[in-house]
Chain A
Amino acid sequence: MRRPGERVDTRLAPPVQRVPRIDSVWVHMAGLSLVFAAAGMGLSAVVDLVEHGHSTLDLLAAAAVTAVVGAAMRRFSRIPAELSPGAVFVAVCISWVLTSVAGALPYLTTGLLDGLEPALFESVSGFTCTGSSVFTAENFADATPGVLFWRQMTQWFGGMGIIVLAVAVLPFLGVGGLELIRAEAPGPTSDRLAPRVSETAKRLWAVYLVFTVASIIALLLTGIGWFDSAGLALALVSTGGFAPEAASIGTYDSVAVELVLVVGMIIGGASFTLLYAALRGRPLDYLRNAEFRGYILAMALGMGLVALFLAGSGMAPGESLRMAVFNVATLATSTGFGNATGAGSPGDFAEWVPAAQVVLVLFMWVGGMTGSTSGGMKVLRAQVMARVAWRELRRAERPRAVLPLKQGRDVLAEDVVGRIAGFVLLYIVIVLAATLALTLAGNDVLTGFSGAVSAMGNMGPALGEAGPASSFAVYSAAERMILAALMLVGRLEVFPTVLTVVIIGRWIARRVPGRA
């Protein structure tokens, strides 16, 4: 019996169930992502208004549709108490796909791209932080500031999702040996996924925001205007690689811009936990990290090699160094900016000597560090595989020796090594299968192979016909869908996507009539 005047603590009272909610992590997560995306579209509409574009209403319409669907999904669902790894994988994949579908809306409502497929490709490429584009020069000329800003924004949102995924979710589930970096995540070391993710996400997003603002300021100082600065910064911190100009970074042809971008890309391709530590006053954590040392060393070596090869092919030494530093950085961090001023210009690496191209392809395979927004196989895994190979050779001397592998000071457990090896193997198999599919569809071997490597590593440009001075419009619609699928597979660290396919396949098989 409640006495008059007594206050009821409503926070302790059980929530009143006005609407039936379904226990589904994927519906809830996808709803949340859509709401975020809608906010981004709204912001793009504002930018359009400020920049005197003429697509404000189109963008608002897209935002409204996305917001309604997202809010509804979120409202009528909740995260179940028990999360199985499979459910998380499915949720992550479906969220990414649905957000990409929603992200295609602005391209369609503004009428910039014809048809669903190019718009979807552009959107997937954005949300996976890849940076491959079907935009032609005419598209860039026709595009309103709002759409261009949205295009940059997709990458920024993608990056936001990825850092949480890469630092908190996937290491927790031990995907591809990522449990190695599990302890590094800032935030509580909880045994349950949900509280851990929300805490870690807040801290990482704060870092992400600081990094973005710093990048915008640095780019503004180079004098390229606020719209381009903001746009580039969004694609820079997410190692995405979209640029608001048709000729990418080649538009500015400025060493200062390139330098800022190189530094930004190197930080973006490194682990965000290290950046978090650095911002908390421990910058030396960078040097203590064995993966970071490998990352920097490999990049420096690659830059030197490419500069040598380019200088050997007759490019001026200064020019070749500039091209080598920028392009190795952009591909080793899976960003994918291009500094080509036109087809055949010094920055067009599809026209470089083969040796320099091969170095770039090898960097495309490896990509950046774990715990970052960059793609590729990751430096950590390449290091572990190199150690596995080295151990194999040392066994030649002592076949029965027990030789533990070490990463930095840590001894690697054999099952983690197995997971990493399994990841690398799956990565290779998928790239080769995709190369086979792309070449069977009629691409030449170079374009098919480099396109598959580039999409899987979320790089952006490829070699052959799809070089940095060209666009992915050279691929047919079907081929672009294969590439978009590859981007998703690569983006989500391979296992979740493949397992989602397995899980959905089993789910369908269970419902086929005539089967138990």
Chain B
Amino acid sequence: MTDRGRAEAAAALVAGRGQRRFASAELNLVGLALVICGVALVVSAAADLTGGASDAAVLLGIGIGSAVSGLVLRSRFPLPERITPRSSLRTAAAALGAMIAVSTVVYLATGAIDGLQSASIESTSGFTTTALSVIGDPELQPRGVLFWRASTQWIGGFTALATIIAVLPFLGVSGPADPQTRLPTGVSHLTSGHVRRLLGRYALLYLILSLVGALVFLIGGMGPFDATTYAFTTISTGGFANHDGSFSRFDSELLEWMGVLGMALGGLSLSVVWSALRGHTQRVFGARELWAYAGLLVGSTAVIAVVQSPGDGLRENLRLSAFTATSAVSSTGHWVTDWSSFEPGLQMMLVLLIGIGAMSGSVGGGFRIVRAMALFSFLWRELVTQLQPRLVRSVRVGPEVVSEPMATRILGYQALYVGTAAAGFLGLAAAGTDVVTALSGSVSALATYGPALGELGVGEPVSALGGGAMAVLGFLMFAGRIELYPLLDGLVWILFAPLRRVRRASFSWAPSLRSPARRRSGT
């Protein structure tokens, strides 16, 4: 090769290196999250213009900044061909974390919330669709901030659903309910066409439901701004409110019933909604989980109405009971009456309902009804085989058989869920809350409901509990919203990093154990 040819080749290499794009699912999807936040912030800025327009410039600035950095990330880091399971978990956690970071900056820059910790808790609460707020009186906040606050929940709801659809099936833990999201395990679906189609379909549904919600609230008597934001926080089972008294503020029977409907829709599996829209009645009414969901809603409403009778007269009783029960089962957190002053038995019942949570495949949180049903079937089998040890029987949800590996995974998930709740229980108490607050708060935050008993009663700003408790709650919300795995996996990875380093070091001292070639490759 001539000198000239060599120089050309070197130049090409340099140019090539300059343009080389490192594939990274984490950074690519963080970029996507940032773009989404940017768009939402720009819309929030527009919403701010309809009010005092005090923060429009700040919101717009952060929005554009976020969107641009997101676009840069996406262009620099394309999605890789293959995504490892751990990397897809990290992607989910990183995307949620990035959005929380943007939101924290928004609250601090607009001056809506003082202090880094409070701002980040408000953001975490938003993106995890939990209704724990540090803002005492939201009515004092400018419109742009309120709109952004509602948007965080709306985005957060879909992020959670996307995690369930795109990341978890891959691990084989999505639950037995939804045939459409049940995909072969161990294969990456994050970028597959099927998952993209599903996500697109559900995004469309989510949008339609939110629009319908906004329209309904508008007809019910809210202003356009309130209608939009309340639809955001209701359909996403979020629970942030623009007013001090949540739904009770409107003092409108019609609106409260509409709220019940909205929350019930939020806790409904989107696959059921899709089937209903497509006219597949067989599939809709064949879903046992739907019946269980409806049963929980109606049953708990009836129990509250009979035992507590929170209102005057049958109609008010029913309305308040239905609202409280639906809010709990769908893990929303809107409220019209202070259930932490109900009869102790009902308090306990509501905490249990919150813990069980909504349907799988919905944007609601909690352990999920279908998993609970599978566990009960498993339990019954254990009881029966104790009497007839040779009996062969499968775990079922309704007519559907849950495979043995799936049943084991659900048991594992249950162990993780209970363990995390217990850790939260201890953590909250160690941070200084009383025992009842710690117990109910841990369950409620993990199920992304929000308010709880004792010091965490409805309408109480969470900042009153102090920094330690807020940190624990933030952790629980984050873990609960993306089905535990991403966060816990990340946590274990970080905690064991020093240990791994020690191990690696000890291996490198002993050359006989590890060949230099393998050490270089870093395996």
Contact = CB atoms under 8 A, between A and B. Distances in A.
Contact of B344 (A309, A358, A359, A444): A444
Most buried by A among B411, B425, B433: B411
A436 B349 contact: yes
A358 B438 contact: yes
B453 interface: yes
A174 interface: yes
B497 interface: no
B412 A389 contact: yes
Interface string B273-292: 00000000000000000000
Contacts of B170: 399
B186 A400 contact: yes
Contacts of B185: 399-400
A502 to B, nearest CB: 7
Interface string A359-399: 10110000000000000000000000110110111011111
Contact of B408 (A398, A414, A423, A437): A414
A139 B415 CA distance: 44
Given A359-B426, A392-B415, A422 B89 contact: no
Interface stretch (B68-76, B261-269, B416-424): B416-424
A510 to B, nearest CB: 15
B492 interface: yes
Contacts of B381: 422
Interface string B338-350: 0000011111110
Contact of A425 (B378, B416, B432, B485): B378
A443 B344 contact: yes
A392 B426 contact: no
Nearest to A414: B408
B409 A428 contact: no
Given A418-B408, A425-B375, A393 B492 contact: yes
Contacts of B489: 393, 396-397
Interface in A424-450: 424-426, 428-429, 432, 435-437, 439-446, 448-450
A436 B426 CA distance: 22
A495 interface: yes
Contact of B432 (A354, A359, A385, A414): A354
Contacts of B440: 445
Contacts of A445: 344, 347-348, 436, 439-440, 453
B64 interface: no
Interface in B374-421: 375, 378-379, 381-383, 386-387, 389, 408-409, 411-416, 418-419
Contacts of A397: 84-86, 489
A75 interface: no
Nearest to A357: B435
A175 B347 CA distance: 34
B307 interface: yes
B348 A422 contact: no
A432 B485 CA distance: 25
B139 interface: no
Interface residues of A, number: 60
A225 B195 CA distance: 76
B379 A425 contact: yes
Interface in B160-176: 170-172
B345 to A, nearest CB: 3
B435 A354 contact: yes
Contacts of A423: 382
Contacts of A386: 415, 419
B58 interface: no
A91 to B, nearest CB: 14
Count class of interface residues, chain B: 35 or more
Contact of A435 (B348, B387, B485): B348
A436 B355 CA distance: 14
Contacts of A421: 378, 411, 414-415
A414 B407 CA distance: 12
A463 B435 contact: yes
B216 interface: no
Nearest to A350: B435
A509 to B, nearest CB: 15
Contacts of A385: 415, 419
B432 A396 contact: no
Given A425-B379, A440-B307, A175 B386 contact: yes
Contact of B171 (A309, A357, A399, A437): A399
Contact of A85 (B84, B171, B387, B425): B387
Contact of B387 (A86, A429, A437): A86
B254 interface: no
Contacts of A46: none
A495 B386 contact: yes
With most chain A CB atoms within 10 A of its CB, the pick from B84, B344, B352, B436 is B344
A78 to B, nearest CB: 23
B430 interface: yes
A393 B382 contact: no
A54 interface: no
Interface of B: 84-86, 89, 170-172, 185-186, 307, 343-349, 352, 375, 378-379, 381-383, 386-387, 389, 408-409, 411-416, 418-419, 422, 425-426, 429-430, 432-436, 438-440, 453, 485, 488-489, 492
Task: Name the 5 nearest CB pairs between A and B, nearest first.
Answer: A440-B345, A392-B412, A422-B382, A389-B415, A358-B429
8 contacts: A357-B435, A362-B422, A362-B425, A393-B485, A397-B489, A425-B414, A442-B343, A446-B436
Given A395-B172, A445-B436, 14 more contacts: A354-B434, A355-B430, A357-B435, A386-B415, A393-B485, A393-B492, A414-B408, A418-B378, A422-B383, A426-B379, A435-B348, A439-B343, A441-B345, A499-B383
Interface of A: 84-86, 173-175, 309, 354-355, 357-359, 361-362, 385-386, 388-389, 391-393, 395-400, 414, 417-419, 421-426, 428-429, 432, 435-437, 439-446, 448-450, 463, 495, 498-499, 502-503
